[in-house]
Amino acid sequence: MYRFPFSKPPFPGEMTEIALGIKWLRFPLPYRLDHINIYLIEDDGGWCVLDAGIHDEHTLKLWKAVLSGPLSDSHLTRLIVTHHHPDHIGAAGWLCHEAGIPLSISQTAYLACANISLDPGSPQDRQFYDFYLSHGMAPEVAELMGTNGLEYLRKVSPLPNTFLRLLSGDTLTIGARKFRVLTGDGHAPEQVMLYCAEDCLFFSADQVIAKISPNVSVWPSEPDGDPLGHFLRTARRIRENLPDDVLVLPGHQLPFYGLHERCNDLVEHHEHRCDLIGEACSGKHLTVSDLVPVVFPRELNIHQLGFAFSETLAHVNRMLRRAELTKAVADDGVIRYCKADHPGSS
Ligand SMILES: [Zn+2]
């Protein structure tokens, strides 16, 4: 059973004390997932910030209100960003500049963000468009996928030119506390999580969230990638390496107890989706786009369709790795999948 020690999140601009020297803020997001959690960890001479929020007017206004309100008597000391998604890294460059603080982040997250900034038009490459069409995607959705880089930059302020690299296995001293740095994959590459053994606290970023299964997507730059394999491996590793009695402090939704159960549930959730795909492909040859409504039976708008496609392909690629599906390319280039007669394992 999950337990939620805080029944409500803090109001935007206010802070909830999680433990002595740990504060929780909540900022709005302009999405269906309409909020992000931001944490402050007491540091020598002030507060270390964990994640920055998206780069939009609302978030900057809230940061200014927090800096001149509840934090007006203290300083920020540094910013840690868990991963390169815009809701976490978006305001990072702005905040580092505004507060005069350094950025700590995994190398992959820093470079992923920098890479999009260097060439935001690259998702419009013909090769990527053809990739989507080969999986049965409608041209209008494929075209929208091409705008991902430009969309990303609309929500992300330019990063500082320098950063401090966080690496799995590092010990990070923040004020009086020591944290072990863990990194996870599948939702975002080299996503940073922090574990404080002494106080049983686990900042899990978007890797383990109470009520949401984090998006796990194949992107056209790595069409045969296996992010779901990485995600499942990370969930198992967290369950094996961390105790069950930690307070999980995620990037979205409420803090909770029940880490091991949540890791098990996430694995089960994705295995169930693989089962659905296997059943649908039994004796039939289907494209990834054919499989989207099997995995996501609800009505999807054109934006959600892109994410749903990428997540469905993540399951297909995992199943191909386990030889549970076979792949066939038709003369017109369209790729279809069928359930394998004798699945192996990997
Ligand atoms: Zn994320």
Q: Where are the domains of the chain?
A: 16-119+146-265
Considering the chain, what percentage of its residues have pLDDT values greater than 90? 86
| C-alpha–C-alpha distance, residues 308 and 310, integer Å | 6
CB 166 within 8 A of CB 203: no
Mean pLDDT estimate for the chain: 95
85: nearest Cα among 156, 168, 25, 165: 156
Q: CB-based contacts of 318: which residues, under 8 Å, 6+ apart?
A: 226, 228, 229, 232, 270, 274
pTM: 0.95
- Alpha-carbon dihedral angle through residues 61, 64, 68, 69, given to the nearest 10 degrees: 50
Task: Using the mean position of ligand 1's atoms as its centre, give its distance from the Cα of residue 326 in Å.
Answer: 31
In this prediction, residue 312 carries a pLDDT of 98
Calculate how far, in angstroms, residue 187's C-alpha sits from the geometric centre of ligand 1: 6
CA of 84 to the centre of ligand 1 (A): 7
Q: What is the pLDDT of residue 343?
A: 59
Return the pLDDT at 344: 54
Angle, alpha carbons 149-129-154 (nearest 5°): 15
The per-residue pLDDT for 346 is 47
d(CA 114, CA 124): 18
| Whole-number Cα distances in Å, 6 to 10, 24, 203, 210 | 10, 11, 16, 13
Token representation of residue 11: 């109001």
Measure the CA–CA gap between 241 and 261, rounded to whole angstroms: 14
Question: What Rg do the C-alpha atoms of the chain give, in angstroms?
Answer: 21
Q: 231 CA to middle of ligand 1, Å?
A: 13
Q: Measured in angstroms, how far is the CA atom of residue 188 from the centroid of ligand 1? A: 7
* Alpha-carbon distance values, 249 to 86, 153, 299 (Å): 19, 27, 31
How close is the Cα of 289 to the center of ligand 1, in Å?
Answer: 23
Quote the ligand 1 centre to 85 CA distance (angstroms): 5
Comparing CA positions, the residue from 172, 152, 170, 162 lying closest to residue 89 is 152
Cα-to-centroid distance, 141 and ligand 1 (Å): 22
16-119+146-265, CATH topology level: Metallo-beta-lactamase; Chain A (3.60.15)
The 3-class secondary structure across 160-190, one letter per residue, is CCCCEECCCCCEEEECCEEEEEEEECCCCCC
Ranges of residues in the chain with a pLDDT under 70 are 343-346
**299 CA distance to ligand 1 centroid (A)?**
23
CA–centroid distance, residue 236 to ligand 1 (Å): 19
- Ligand 1 centroid to residue 252 C-alpha, Å: 9
